[in-house]
Amino acid sequence: MTHSGAERVIAVVTAGLTTPSSSRLLADQLAEAVRDELAGRGLSTRIELIEVRDHAHDLTNNLLTGFPSASLRAVLETVAAADALIVVSPTFSASYSGLFKMFFDVLDDQALAGKPVLLAATGGTERHSLVLEFALRPLFAYLKALPVPTAVYAASTDWGPNAATLRPRITQAAAELVASLHQETPTATNPFANPTPFEDLLNS
């Protein structure tokens, strides 16, 4: 869904368990980068921030009863109506958190179809970064969303003095989300466009 006019609505779903959390910090930086990217195109942005921990009890009740509370229903509708999505999960046991998964378990399985999504996760060490490709990306592919190519993982070492190393990844992912939002195809080089003749390879 694309909203009319010059405003784009970005839903940000973050599943950190503490206040503050590194997941929320990363979510805020991603949202700001997307806002800047859209502003560069002359578009305004409305960020709809969803802290999943605030809805933990309603999510459990929804799974048990099959019906969302009024407040949870409003949040799920916000996600379904957004132009694009930013999702951030802490890493637990080499995967997304159970609370994060619960949120998308109760979301209608067609709500994210065709929606651009920026994937992100946080964790203690860099070795958990593959959670983005082995857990989050398959989940959102199943939900028929359109995850952008660059996903962002922030380890403990990416904060503080090393924060500058995280910024390029955030900027790249934000640019890809906005390009996907406008159905633009990133320029890519085809290595097979001008192949070297086999005879030349042999002669060399």
Could you give the residue ranges of the DSSP H alpha helices within the chain? 22-39, 56-65, 70-81, 98-106, 131, 137-142, 163-181, 198-203
Read off the pLDDT of residues 152-173 as tens digits, 9 standing for 90 and up: 999 988 887 777 889 999 999 9
- Residues in the chain with pLDDT < 50? 186-194, 201, 204
pTM: 0.86
Give the model's pLDDT for residue 82: 97
Give the model's pLDDT for residue 203: 52
Choices 3.30.360.10, 3.40.50.261, 1.20.1090.10, 3.40.50.360: CATH for 8-201: 3.40.50.360
67-74: Cβ within 8 A, 24+ apart: 68/106, 72/106
Q: Given CA atoms 122, 124, 126, 127 in this order, what sign does their dihedral have? A: negative
Percent of the chain with pLDDT over 70: 87
Read off the pLDDT of residues 165-197 as tens digits, 9 standing for 90 and up: 899 999 999 999 999 998 765 444 343 444 555
Domains of the chain, by residue range, sit at: 8-201
Give the model's pLDDT for residue 104: 97
